A = this chain, B = another copy of it.
Amino acid sequence: MSQHGRLRGPGGEALLFLTDEQLKKGIEAMFFAYRGFTADPDRILENYAYGRAHHRALHFIHRSPGTTVNNLLSILGVTKQSLNRVLRTLIEDGLVESRVGRRDKRERHLHLTPKGVALEKDLSEAQRNRMRAAFRSAGPEAVSGFRQVLEAMMDAEMRRQYNSLKDAGS
């Protein structure tokens, strides 16, 4: 049985019967799944003086090496003071390198050091393992639907940033 009734609207478009119960299950799925999503990296981070904020910084610096602080700021959606605190400890601890921009010397371009790469790899491997297992168990069509729904759930600005990250899978 499908969970969704289907109808044709006046314009011929597909309509869905979405009960509040179905929407609630979607909401709760997001809640519980996000917990699982962060659980493995969180466990690793307990062994360091780092938290989720550090993980996010490492992830996006690794993803876009040489990104500026301002760019990272808009991706992470926090204040520069918040990010700076995290960044400072990562730089002090030798996980992140901050290089003064060549063209614009006000800008700082961020790179992971080998030590930073190592921790990022540890964290992201744990997270990818879970994601991989989930993708495998759900199957390719489910994965496609998963990404479609998540993308539609983002704010326009986030979707823009999400899409601007390179995607070797397309």
- Interface residues of chain A, those whose CB is within 8 Å of chain B, are 1-4, 6, 14, 16, 18-37, 39, 56, 59, 63, 77, 124, 127-128, 130-155, 158-159, 161-162, 165-170
Residues of B within 8 A of A127 (CB): 27
Min Cβ gap A153→B in Å is: 4
Residues of B within 8 A of A27 (CB): 37, 59, 124, 127-128, 131
- Contact assessment for B145 and A143 in the assembled complex, using a CB-CB cutoff below 8 Å: yes
Residues of B within 8 A of A142 (CB): 144-146, 148-149
- Contact assessment for B140 and A2 in the assembled complex, using a CB-CB cutoff below 8 Å: yes
Selected contact of A26 from candidates B1, B30, B36, B143, CB within 8 Å? B143
Residues of B within 8 A of A56 (CB): 31
Q: Report the separation of the CA atoms of residues A25 and B128 in the bound assembly, to the nearest whole angstrom.
A: 10
- Contact assessment for B145 and A141 in the assembled complex, using a CB-CB cutoff below 8 Å: yes
- Contact assessment for A149 and B138 in the assembled complex, using a CB-CB cutoff below 8 Å: yes
Min Cβ gap A136→B in Å is: 6
Selected contact of A18 from candidates B24, B135, B148, CB within 8 Å? B135
- Contact assessment for B36 and A155 in the assembled complex, using a CB-CB cutoff below 8 Å: yes
